Structure 1
Amino acid sequence: MSKKLIEMKIAGKDVSFSPNVTAYNKYINEITMGNKVSPAHNFLVRIVTPETKEALTELLERPGAALQIVGKVLDEYTPELEITVKN
């Protein structure tokens, strides 16, 4: 999958992300039943562009922000696959 720049305006702040397969896989592997916030936070920090990192850091201080933001990033990054089960 090619690199994709995802640009967002979040609570009035411009933030850009450059997700990649390695960071995505690490995020998925870190998620556990009892730990979803830290992996989301870490994933976002790994993929934020350097010029918008300060804005992201401020946003991540808000309760629930990491999960809301990661949800939008993943909506844009992960492809919708058509899957059919053949019998």
Structure 2
Amino acid sequence: MTDKREITLEVGDKEFTFSMTPQDVTKYFNAMTANNKVAPSHNLLSNTVAAEQRADLKAMLTNPVMTMQIAGALLEEYAPDVEIIVKKHSTTLSA
């Protein structure tokens, strides 16, 4: 698996291609706080979209809900397919 992944999302009638790296995602998560969610999402999208598509995307990012939806779809597609199982420990005491 390469460090950089190209992901294309279709939003309405437009397509946007994003180039994502682990550093982009790390920067996004590190900027996210309880009171600051939209700005990191906006920055992630703006900084990773193809340069020639940036103006069209910027027009869509005026709506904070749209910003969060697009960032969520991008991150979901970027995430690896890994099965994670949480094993529950028994709460009973052994003698």
Task: Specify the TM-score bucket, using the shorter chain as the normaliser.
Answer: 0.7 to 0.9
Structure-1-length-normalised TM-score: 0.87
Q: Which has the higher contact order (CA 8 A, sep 6+)?
A: 1
Distance in 1 (CA, whole Å) between partners of 2:79 and 2:85 is: 18
Question: Secondary structure of the equivalent of 1:39?
Answer: helix
Contact 1:4–1:18, Cα closer than 8 Å, also in 2: yes
Partner of 1:7: 8
Structure 2: gaps spanning 5 or more residues: 90-95
Partner of 2:59: 58
**CA shift for structure 1 position 84:** 4.6
Aligned length: 87
Structure-2-length-normalised TM-score: 0.80
Q: Which amino acid aligns with 1:18?
A: S
Structure 1: gaps spanning 5 or more residues: none
**Identity percentage over the alignment?**
38
Contact 1:41–1:60, Cα closer than 8 Å, also in 2: yes
Distance in 2 (CA, whole Å) between partners of 1:28 and 1:63 is: 17
Distance in 2 (CA, whole Å) between partners of 1:27 and 1:63 is: 16
Whichever of the two has the greater Rg, that structure is: 2
Contact 1:5–1:16, Cα closer than 8 Å, also in 2: yes
Distance verdict in 2 for CA 1:84–1:8, change over 3 Å: closer
Partner of 1:71: 72
Question: Secondary structure of the equivalent of 2:81?
Answer: coil
Moved over 4 A (4+): 84-87
Aligned residues: CA RMSD:
1.8
